[in-house]
Structure 1
């Protein structure tokens, strides 16, 4: 686990992110439909869980690649947002995935972290593992960050 490589968030930032995708707020967004849950957020790092349910399977009986891609794309959102005093607009502008294994009837855990920050572009990586620690998929992202104007 990479969490220990990243500093804890200050209290206010931790509060902002700990329930960002969990609970009622998440119910109205795609991450909630899929069922993603934030487990930990640190500076430039996040860990999320995709709880298994049969509806996430594809016909061969493994978790659908689209659900895994959603986990990879979403786990970096809190990592990207952790550097800002309020939640910015974050847009995926590039994402590359590599599937390395299949997941059958198990929760999946993803870790996402920042590899480089620019003024409005952030580069990220993510990994998805099964409960035994097998690497199921990995991804590389480029996000555009827009700070909303106060008003």
Structure 2
């Protein structure tokens, strides 16, 4: 099982090159039966003007991990995955360290999926709670 988890994380981290995930230094760090976790460092690169984590960077992290989870759990060789709606409630600011985003499936339909993404700090305190809807589009041929 550990080798399988390592392979999934290797694939997820391998597709970051030349993407927003690489720009924001998002790294996939854990996967389970129905979840995927990514982390992002909090530094001036992702601050809003007053020196705390920008909500847009948080949402980019949430959509990245939710979409990657859809890719992993729906067989990305057969489908293109696209985020079609995201909502976020930001409840706490953070200035340093890492934030962790855990995407957990709420609904796994054939066409649409609903993910809850909890973004927490290193101690597990809630920073943002997000919901992402993804759509799976069949690849041709």
Q: Report the TM-score, using the length of structure 2 for normalisation.
A: 0.88
What is the aligned-residue RMSD (CA, Å)? 2.1
Distance 2:122 2:115 in 1: 23
* 1:110-142 per-position Cα deviation (integer Å, ceiling 9, x unaligned): 100111111111111100111122100011111
Is 1:71 the equivalent of 2:66? no
What does residue 46 of structure 2 align with? 56
Q: Flag structure 1 segments of 5+ consecutive residues without an equivalent.
A: 1-7
Distance 2:40 2:109 in 1: 29
Distance 2:13 2:19 in 1: 10
- Count of paired positions: 140
What does residue 72 of structure 2 align with? 82
Distance 1:102 1:148 in 2: 40
Distance 2:108 2:122 in 1: 31
Residue of structure 2 aligned with 1:128, choices 108, 119, 129: 119
* 1:1-28 per-position Cα deviation (integer Å, ceiling 9, x unaligned): xxxxxxx6983x752x3123425x4121
**More strand per residue:** 2
Verify the 8 A CA contact 1:21 1:36 in the aligned structure 2. no
* 1:35-78 per-position Cα deviation (integer Å, ceiling 9, x unaligned): 10000122331000002232111111101111111111111123
Distance 1:108 1:86 in 2: 26
Give the stretch that moved more between structures: 92-101 or 46-55: 46-55
Q: Flag structure 2 segments of 5+ consecutive residues without an equivalent.
A: none
Distance 2:3 2:97 in 1: 33
Distance 2:64 2:48 in 1: 20
Distance 1:98 1:91 in 2: 21
What does residue 134 of structure 2 align with? 143
What does residue 26 of structure 2 align with? 36
